[in-house]
Amino acid sequence: MLEIRPLTTERWHDFAALCRQMGPNRSCWCMWWREDGTKHEGTARQRAQDLVQRSERPIGLLAYEGDEPIGWVAVSPREDYPRLQAARETGPVDELAGVWAVPCFFVLEDRRGMGVAKELLAAAARLAEEHGAQAVEGVPVDPETTRRHTASGTYTGTTPMFLAAGFREVARRFPRGRVVMRRTLRRDQAP
């Protein structure tokens, strides 16, 4: 049975174990979207560990089968991701406040295609809502229009997965690029 738990200092080693299995993305430590591209002190691993230790709320969620970590999703307020904010392809689409983002996933290769990422996405939306988010956004690829069909190309998810989770397309700035998709969490705000 799949269990979703927040990344905490106590679960750092589980996250680290997953990061070491991320193939071409293993040096990222889920920091790429969080940084602005300037030089930073220490390694991505050190910066990620420091972020987990000092954060007052989870910066992501881990999926477990029993005690084994098998998947990860990053989720935080959109402004916590400078690269996401600044890129023409993935930047904000409007002035809606309280938007959180789900910019990346990782699922162990032998567990892919079993709904793990889908469960992580649903849990990420719940976490965002619990922390007062008005909406949550993702920047998946559309398998119909992109050539990024590798794990390293689809680490942001796919449009069918987001559509199935109640998200809708709000921006597609490049025909073969990432798609900004949103799910409204609080009905007192229009999407």
Q: Which two tokens stand for residue 18?
A: 């997953």
Could you give the percent of the chain with pLDDT greater than 90?
A: 73
Q: Report d(CA 69, CA 64) in Å as an integer.
A: 4
pLDDT score recorded for residue 20? 87
pLDDT confidence bin for 1, thresholds 50/70/90? confident
Residues 6 or more apart from 76 whose CB is under 8 A from it?
34, 59, 60, 100, 101
pTM reported for the whole predicted model: 0.91
5-31 pLDDT per residue, tens: 999 999 999 999 998 887 665 678 888
Could you tell me which CATH class the domain 2-184 is placed in? alpha beta
pLDDT confidence bin for 42, thresholds 50/70/90? confident
| Phi and psi based region of residue 42 (left: phi greater than 0; alpha: psi -120 to 50; beta: remaining) | left
pLDDT confidence bin for 149, thresholds 50/70/90? low
Domain positions in the chain: 2-184
pLDDT score recorded for residue 171? 97
Residues 6 or more apart from 26 whose CB is under 8 A from it?
19, 20
pLDDT over threshold 70, residue 32: yes
pLDDT over threshold 60, residue 183: yes
Higher local confidence (pLDDT), 118 or 155: 118
**Averaged over 119-127, what is the pLDDT?**
97
